[in-house]
Amino acid sequence: MIALREAWQAGLFHRGNWFPNIVAGAIVGVVALPLAMAFAIASGAKPEQGLYTAIVAGLLVSACGGSRVQIAGPTGAFIVILSGITAKHGIDGLQIATLMAGLILLAMGLARLGSVIRFIPAPVIVGFTAGIGVIIFVGQWRDFFGLPAVAGEHFHEKLWHLLQVFPQLHVATTAIAVLSLLLVVGAPRVHWLRRIPGPLLALVAATAIQAVFRFEGVATIGSAFGGLPRGLPGLSLPEVTLARVIELAGPAFTIAMLGAIESLLSAVVADGMAGTRHDSNQELMGQGLANVVAPLFGGFAATGAIARTATNIRNGGNSPLAGITHAVTLVLVVLFLAPLAANVPLAALAAILFVVAYNMSELRHFARMVRRAPRADVAILLITFSLTVLTDLVVAVNIGVILAMLQFLRRMSVSVEVSRQDAPDLEHELSRDGGTPPGLPPGVLVYGIDGPFFFGAVENFERALIQTHTDPRVLLIRLRRVPFMDMTGLQTLDEVIGKLRERGVAVVLCEANARVRQKLMRAGVLAALGEANYQDTLAAAAERCAQLAREQ
């Protein structure tokens, strides 16, 4: 109960903080109601399962997460992944994958990998979230326009089939959907409606219209799912077998990674809005616990929800009490208002998801990044976006991260400089440091490496040595500006030393930091070089070079 304990120590449970947190939690619960049902239906689950997920995850993350103000539940980012898992493995498979993902998140938190997740490059994150937004938008056309079911495994196939059946749209369904969309978008701009959440207003208005007029052919929660059951689910364990665990390992890892990214992004946004500081590792453990427990009570994957967390903060929430109140509000809805959900049109939920998809796509940010980012980053952004839409989110993220890593390595290798240093500069440096310039005799060359000496920088080093044209008698390599070496760099350095010694060129190394020197020692480079041919200071190395030059 880390979040609860820290809030208690900060004095946030004093009576003066109760009212604003209870009000904020109730408002967030109202906002979460239509979203939870919409996300569940879009993920291939029943609407009540979205509510169960929001209740369990909201309660556990608020109590055990790493942020005081985080609100958790089902989110739009999961829709593409979860709907694919449900279609292939059924709802039981989705719940098993969620449970496994929760265990992975717990392990990541215990291994203190919270800070590592944040290193995923911005073009990759923006690319796949925009792609998810496009998929959600097109995926809701059927419910929004009342279109017949279409086949197609891939996005472009579904899009083409939807365009073919578009003339068969249902007029009443489309009218309710358009009205709902206008209410979701327009309510915050009307002064006297500003305090009513747009999704709730759209849900109530559309439900009331359908309950009164009973338009034929308009799909509702009642006609599609039989309504919402009144009451809370009992504990139910999914049937877990070794074969299913192996089969669902990939989807579980995808859920865990996406959940970790979104929850930590939400926590960072919350820190900026509320002036707090979250614990990323504890946040992963809280999310992991929520995803382990939610499937046991009929739920599925959940993570930190940026929009609901922001709503919580804007309405005065500053402690876990708000998140707990949000969960209690949804419990009361399930217990007392469930029968009213039978008339909720699926078109209204589709309209809400239209807005969610637009917000996820971050269209302005996407366009600004395309215009202003470096060309390589723009290419990574567009490739990740295209692969998310046309192939698979997992493929898109993996390839996006790999491309970003390769681009980073390219930039790092270019930034590493291997330069020849002239005798006057060295003598000036020795004089400035208080040493006595020994004077380098003819035949001694000095090279300095500036930057990490890793496999990407090896080519620069070898090219610099080739440009000497004639072999010197002694080669001095300065390592003062080398922060680290990898195995490829160590192996290359050892090979270069061996080849130069075969040609009669003596090699001296100097000024490595403690970590680089330890690696040189462990790799056997210093043993092959000779103890006297490594010196800690430039002055000692210059004296050694002069001695070797006299001996030859």
Predicted local confidence at residue 456, as pLDDT: 66
Classify 466 as helix, strand or coil.
helix
SS3 state of residue 448: strand
Report d(CA 364, CA 362) in Å as an integer: 6
Would you kindly state where each structural domain of the chain is located, as residue ranges? Answer: 3-120+161-359, 417-551
Query: CA 309 to CA 313: how far, in whole Å?
Result: 6
**SS3 for 445?**
strand
Instruction: Please work out, in degrees rounded to the nearest 5, the angle formed at the alpha carbon of residue 34 by the alpha carbons of 21 and 52.
Output: 75
Q: Could you give the C-alpha distances from 141 to 38, 42, 219, 362, 397, in angstroms and in order?
A: 14, 11, 13, 20, 26
Residue 162 pLDDT? 93
Adjacent-strand bridge partners of 499? none
Backbone angles phi, psi at 403, to 5 degrees: -65, -40
Give dist(CA 61, CA 291) in Å, integer.
10
Output the DSSP codes for 478-492.
Answer: EEEE---B-HHHHHH
pLDDT value at residue 12: 66
**Closest listed residue to residue 93, CA positions, set 314, 246, 272:** 246
N- to C-terminal Cα distance for the chain? 72
Q: Which amino acid belongs to residue 427?
A: E
Amino acid at 459: E
Neighbour count for residue 424 (Cβ, 10 Å): 9
CA atoms within 13 A on the CB side of 238: 26
| pTM listed for this prediction | 0.80
Tokens for 327? Answer: 């969960």
Per-residue pLDDT of the chain (552 residues; tens, 9 = 90+): 666 677 666 666 677 778 889 999 999 999 899 999 999 999 999 999 999 999 999 999 999 998 989 999 999 889 989 998 999 999 999 999 999 999 999 999 999 988 877 678 889 989 988 999 999 999 999 999 999 988 877 888 899 999 999 999 999 999 999 999 999 999 888 888 777 888 989 999 999 999 999 999 999 999 999 989 988 999 988 889 999 999 999 999 999 998 998 898 889 888 888 888 889 999 999 999 999 999 999 999 999 998 899 999 988 888 899 999 999 999 999 999 898 889 999 999 999 999 999 998 889 999 999 999 999 999 999 999 999 999 877 788 889 988 988 888 788 777 788 888 877 767 777 776 555 445 567 788 888 888 888 776 666 676 766 665 567 888 888 999 899 888 888 888 888 888 888 888 899 999 999 999 999 999 999 998 888 999 998 888 888 888 888 876
Phi, psi dihedrals of residue 73, rounded to the nearest 5°:
165, -170
State the sign of the Cα–Cα–Cα–Cα dihedral 422, 428, 432, 434.
Answer: positive
CATH of 417-551, one of 3.40.50.10310, 3.40.80.10, 3.90.180.10, 3.30.750.24: 3.30.750.24
Q: What is the largest CA-CA distance in the chain?
A: 105
At residue 143, what are phi and psi to the nearest 5 degrees?
-75, -35
**CB < 8 Å & 24+ apart, contacts of 183-191:** 184/351, 184/352, 184/354, 184/355, 185/355
Cα 125 to chain centroid distance, Å, stands at 6
**149 DSSP assignment:** P
Asked if residues 477 and 449 have their Cβ atoms less than 8 Å apart, the reply is yes
Q: How far apart are the C-alpha atoms of 346 and 348, rounded to whole Å?
A: 5
Backbone angles phi, psi at 453, to 5 degrees: -95, 80
Q: What is the pLDDT of residue 110?
A: 93
The answer to whether 184 and 352 have CB atoms below 8 angstroms apart is yes
